[in-house]
Amino acid sequence: MKPVFLYDTTLRDGTQGENISFSAKEKLKVAMMLDDLGIHFIEGGWPGSNPRDMSFFNLAKDTSFKNARITAFGATRKACINVEDDANIKALLSSAAPCVAIFGKTWDFHVNEIMKNSEDENLAMISDSVSFLKASNKTVIYDAEHFFDGFRSNRVYALETLFCAAKNGADYLVLCDTNGGWLPFDIEKAVSDTMAFFKKKCSSGEIAHIPDIGIHAHNDSGMAAANTISAVRVGATMVHGTINGYGERCGNADLISIIPVLKLKMGYNCISDENLRKLKKCSRFVSEIANMIPANNRPFVGKSAFAHKGGIHVSAVMKNPIAYEHIDPEKVGNRRRVLISDLSGKSNIEYKGRELGIDFDSKEINSRDIVSKIKSLEENGFQFDLADGSFKILMEKLTKQFKPFFELKSFMVTIIKEKDRPCTSQATIKISVDGKDKITVSEGHGPVSALDNAIRKALNKFYPGFLENTSLVDFKVRVIDGREGTNAKVRLIIESRDENEIWSTIGVSEDLIEASWQALSDSLQYKLSKGKK
C-alpha cells in the first residue's frame, strides 16, 4: 500500500474562511502544532500576496520542524512575461520554503472567458513556471485549479495541462474540486481516468514515471471528505485539507475527519498512533487561535462525538462500548460522555457520576433518588445534558461530597441609564473563603459582565492568577415559557474555557440576574475544583 501524504492548508486556504484570520506569529504557533501532529506538508501562505505571509516565512526560516515541509503557495507566471521577471515567482523563491505549490488554470472556460487568455499561452505558463522552480531545487506541487470542472468540459485540454506540469518535473499533481460541486463516484472515475492517462504516457516513453496524484476538495456540496476518501481509494497519495474544515464559502476537506478515516478505517499509516491521539487537542488549539467556537458535533473530536443520552444506550455501552461506538474515542484523544436528562436511567447517573469523579460506593447513596431529583429539576427548566459543570456540582451536593471554594454572602447590581447615553452597570459582591470575607466592586458592559468582573476580582485575592486563562466563550438565554410574559422563567447557559477544556453551566430562574449568578457560580466552582484541592 502506497503512503498517503497529509498536506495542510489551514494557514492559507483556511484563512479565506469568514471571520478567520491569523497573525504571522499565530501562524507559526499553528504550524508547530501541525508539525507535532505529524503533518507532512504545511502550506504557510502566499508570500507574493501580502506582507503578513512573507513575515511567516521569515519566522519559519529560523524554526526547526521535525516532520513537516513548509510550503509556499503562488500562481503560475502571468501571461506574456518571462518567468524570471514574474513578481509572484520571485516571492516564492524569496520565501526560502523548500517546497512550493503553484496553481494553474485547467478549465478551458476560465482560460478563455475569465482570463481572456489563449489555451496555448496557458500551457506555456504552466510549463515555464514548473521548470523554473524545479531548476531552483524546489519540490513542486502543481495545483490544477478547477480540474474536475475542466475535465468535464474539455477532457483533452484538462489532461494536457497536467501533462505540461508533469513533463517539466512537477513532483505532485493535485486535482482540485475548487467549486466543491462533485460527487464521490464522479471523483473516482475522473481520478482513475487521469491515472490511466499517465500510465499510457509513461508506457509510450513521453514521461519517465507516473507522478503522484493529490486531491484538493471543497465542501460546497457537503462532500469534501467523501470526495477525498474516494480519490485515495483509487490511487491518490496526497491529501489536501484544513483543520476543522475551515475555508472559503463552505470550507475545505476537514483533515480532522479524514485522518482517522485513512488511519483507522482504511489502514493507511499516514500518522503514528501516538500522534493520532493528539487529534482532538490539535482541533481545539486551532479553533482557539482562530477564535472560533468548536463544533460539538464534529466527527471524532467533537464534544458530542461519543456522547450517549438514552438509558438503553448507556446500559449497553457500560457492558461493551462497541454496541454504540464505531471506534475507541481515546484513539483520537477524545472521551466517552454520558448525558443526563429526563430520559436518563440509573445507569446514566452512576456512569456519569463516576466519570466526573463522584464516589458512589457509599451505601447511603441511592441512585434512584438522585434520578428522581434530577428529573424534577428538569421539569422546572434545567437541562443537564447541556451543562456538565453544573451537573458535577449538583451530584456532589446530592451525595454530600461538595466542598465549596467560596460562599456568597451578598451581591448588588446597579444599572445606570443617563439620557442619550448607553446603560452602565456596577456590581458589588461579598464572598467568604475559609471564613474570610471579601468585598469588591467592579463595572461591566452589562449587569452580568459587572457581576462576573466583581466575583473574579474577589476570588483573585484568594486564588491569585488561577482564573487568568479562564474566559466565557458563549452566553445563551432562553425563555422557557413565554406565556408568562415578563414573569417567565429563563434558562441561561454559560460556556467557559481554559487552555485545556470547555465546560458548561446552567441557571434557571424568573430573574435573569439570579439565573446568571447560578451559572456563573457553578462555572467558577467547577474551574477551582479542577486545580485547587
Is residue 342 pLDDT above 60, yes or no?
no
Spatial contact of 228 and 256, defined as CB atoms under 8 Å apart: no
**Domain's final residue, options 365, 398, 431:** 398
Is residue 496 pLDDT above 50, yes or no?
yes
Q: What is the pLDDT of residue 230?
A: 98
Q: Which amino acid is at 2?
A: K
Q: What is the pLDDT of residue 341?
A: 60
Cβ count within 10 A of residue 274: 8
**Dist CA 489 CA 455 (whole Å):** 24
**Domain's final residue, options 343, 363, 398:** 398
For residues 394-422, one letter each, b for 16 or more C-beta atoms within 10 angstroms of the residue's C-beta and e for the rest, the string is bbbebbeeeeebbeeeebebeeeeeeeee
Residue 286 is assigned to a structural domain of this protein: no
Number of domains in the chain: 3
Inter-CA distances, 235 with 135, 154, 385, 475, 496, Å: 28, 23, 43, 47, 44
Q: For residue range 76-120, what is the model confidence (pLDDT) as tens digits? A: 999 999 999 999 999 999 999 999 999 999 999 999 999 999 999
Residues counted in the chain: 533
Q: What is the mean pLDDT of the chain?
A: 91
CATH number for the domain spanning 245: value is 3.20.20.70
Same domain membership, residue 382 and residue 252: no
Same domain membership, residue 228 and residue 152: yes
* pTM beyond 0.85: no
pLDDT band at residue 430 using 50, 70 and 90 as cut-offs: very high
Domain that includes residue 438, residue range: 407-531
Is residue 527 pLDDT above 80, yes or no?
yes
Q: Which residues contact 436 (CB under 8 A, 6 or more apart)?
A: 462
Q: For residue range 18-65, what is the model confidence (pLDDT) as tens digits? A: 999 999 999 999 999 999 999 999 999 999 788 999 999 999 999 999
More confident position, 234 or 348: 234
Q: What is the pLDDT of residue 362?
A: 62
Is residue 372 pLDDT above 60, yes or no?
yes
Q: What is the pLDDT of residue 468?
A: 85
Same domain membership, residue 411 and residue 394: no
Spatial contact of 243 and 34, defined as CB atoms under 8 Å apart: yes
**Domain's final residue, options 381, 398, 415:** 398
Q: What is the pLDDT of residue 533?
A: 46
